[in-house]
Amino acid sequence: MSTTPIPPPPDAPVTPDLELKHSLHRRLLGRINLDQLAEIDAPRVRREVRNALEALMEEEDFGVEASHRGELVDQVLNEVFGLGPLEPLMQDPTVSDILVSTPELVYVERAGKLVKTQVKFKDNAHLQRIIQKIVSQAGRRIDESSPMVDTRLPDG
């Protein structure tokens, strides 16, 4: 199998620093009331969280150019509501499989070929949080007694 890295498309947005994204995520969680959000319908919750993120970006200087703020907000929303850095791969119709070896090694299968991506997790703890999200959605578990899992998401 081929393991050729996938170069980012020419129009790919600049990826903000992982630490910056996680800092914004932590500050967001310190600001929102999760109990109140649980009582609101999903589309409205996403809008409210987006608004809170945008307000936070306006109030604090994160050193991010205005043209890149939208990408940063989208990445934090992927952390909150999706599968973090895997979310763009999940939305890509050309990807048939995603394989995560380490926080720095993420491969996808496209047209029967395995290719290395540019996707990275902040660290092992970040990867573990996303893995727990995935396996819990599938009704599976991963821990020391069961350190590997092969699962399919509800949407196939």
Domain boundaries, the chain: 18-81, 87-137
This prediction has a pTM of 0.71
Q: At what angle do helices 42-59 and 18-31 cross, to 10 degrees?
A: 110
Q: Residue 138 carries which DSSP code?
A: T
Main-chain phi, psi angles of 85, to 5 degrees = -65, -15
Which residue's structure tokens are 């989208």? 74
For each of the chain's 156 residues, which pLDDT tens digit applies? Answer: 444 444 444 334 444 577 788 788 888 878 777 677 777 787 888 888 888 888 888 887 777 777 788 888 888 888 888 899 999 999 999 999 999 999 999 999 999 999 999 999 989 999 988 988 888 877 777 777 777 777 776 666
Measured from the Cβ of residue 69, the count of other Cβ atoms closer than 10 Å reads 16
Residue 20 · residue 133 · CB < 8 Å: no
Cα distance between residue 78 and residue 73, in whole Å? 9
Cα distance between residue 82 and residue 99, in whole Å? 17
Beta bridge mates, 143 = 146
